[in-house]
Structure 1
Amino acid sequence: MIRVVLDTNILYSAILQRAGLPAAVFDLVSDGLLIPCVSPAVLAEYHDVLLERPRLRPYAERAHSVLEILAKVAIRVEPTGVVTESRDESDNRFLECAEAADAAYLVTGNIKHFPERYKATKVVTARQLWAIMMAAGREEKQ
């Protein structure tokens, strides 16, 4: 299974639009094909954004469901270093988590805020990760 760090905007989009690629990526987590990795800072941002933003109030049940799934399946890590690679300071917490988890991918909707790769982690969009996963599935069937 593949370790990933999901930027909050991926979860936000998955909650708002069940038919989009961020939701499809989260479904891969729910199906056990991806292992999400979280740190205390990442979890705190998830809770702050997904439970407190007025735009998500109509989707509170779905937001709670997403957080419950993550609580059950996510690998919790404790970053040991401080990262300063991202232009957006809060996004550095996701890179720190990815490094501590040795995640293969960091999935984000704000790819311009991140380097293309950070150490062992490749930064990708939901569309790119979906394509990677679908290609891997086709290879397994051959």
Structure 2
Amino acid sequence: MKVNDLIKGDTGHFHTVKGDQTVFHALQQMSAYGVSAIVVMADEMPVGIFTERDLIRCQILFPDKQIDQVTIDKVMTSKLIVAEPQDSVDAAMAMMIKARIRHLPVVGNKKIIALIALEDLVKAHVGALTQELHYLKDYITDLQDAVHD
């Protein structure tokens, strides 16, 4: 299964904020959309991602400031690790595990076209394994029936 197959459905939708907006604003958006990560944009280009982990970093780096006093660009993760639509789900999952990240932007035509979560990849992987298991069970049943005939 390819990443592109995964993002054709409901998976992969993402929301954005600007780096000069506050951490509080990002959290409001994340809460409103029910997401745990949001893409940070500047001049219509992705420059980072803000996640729940970055909120913790904000509290450590700026212990004397409120979250409405710190801009996202000060605490966001600016090194984006990305997948491409033609990448396999297994490769994307391996990339996320190696980098210890839970959200992976998908880039096509030099733009982010989706944001997938590790949970999405695990669900797809489990679904594929479940299908394979059913196929193998049917195959074994057919073999057993053929032997008994």
Higher strand share: 2
| TM-score (normalizing by structure 1) | 0.27
| TM-score (normalizing by structure 2) | 0.26
Higher helix share: 1
